[in-house]
Amino acid sequence: MLTFRCPCCGIDACETELAPGGEAHLKRFGPGSSDDEFEGYLFLRPNVRGVHFERWRHAMGCGKWFLAARCTATLEVFGTYPAQVSAPPPDILAAIRAKRPDWSLT
Ligand SMILES: [Zn+2]
C-alpha cells in the first residue's frame, strides 16, 4: 500500500486517506496561448514509468494539498513537500539521486 507523510500535519497517511490530484509542477497555459499549448496543458501527460511528481490531498486528514515524489513502478516514496513550490526541493532531488543515480530531472 502506498503511504505518504503529509508535510502539512506530519501524519503518515495511506492512500485510502488521500485523494490524487494528478501530475505536479505542470506548466499552465491559458488565454493567449496556442491551441497546441492549451491542449497539452489540459490533456497530455507523459504516463511515466519511474520517478514521478504528483499532487495529493490529505482528504481524510487536514484536507491540504501537498506534492510527492515516488516511483510509479515500485511505489517507493522519495519524499513529500508543500504544494506551494514551483519545483522539487533540493532534499527531495538528493533523495532520488541517492537511490537512482542515473535519474535526471527533465
Ligand atoms: Zn495532513
Owner of C-alpha cell 500535519: 9
Q: How far is the CA of 85 from the centre of ligand 1 (A)?
A: 17
- Cell reading at 28: 499552465
* Residue 73 exposure: Cα atoms within 13 Å on the Cβ side: 4
Q: How far is the CA of 70 from the centre of ligand 1 (A)?
A: 18
Structure confidence at residue 106 (pLDDT)? 74
Does 100 have pLDDT greater than 80? yes
Structure confidence at residue 51 (pLDDT)? 97
What are the angstrom distances between the C-alpha of 70 and each of 30, 33, 36, 56, 81? Answer: 28, 31, 29, 12, 12
In a domain, 18, yes or no: yes
Question: For 25-65, what is each residue's pLDDT tens digit?
Answer: 998 888 899 999 999 999 999 889 999 999 999 999 999 99
In a domain, 46, yes or no: yes
Q: Residue 92 belongs to a domain with what CATH number?
A: 3.30.2270.10
Structure confidence at residue 31 (pLDDT)? 86
Q: How far is the CA of 22 from the centre of ligand 1 (A)?
A: 18
Cβ–Cβ under 8 Å, residues 70 and 15:
no
In a domain, 15, yes or no: yes
- Which residues, in sequence order, are CB contacts of 45 under 8 Å at separation 6+? 22, 23
Question: For 79-88, what is each residue's pLDDT tens digit?
Answer: 999 999 999 9
Mean pLDDT of 9-18: 96
Around ion ligand 1, residues with a beta carbon closer than 5 Å are 6, 8-9, 58, 61-62
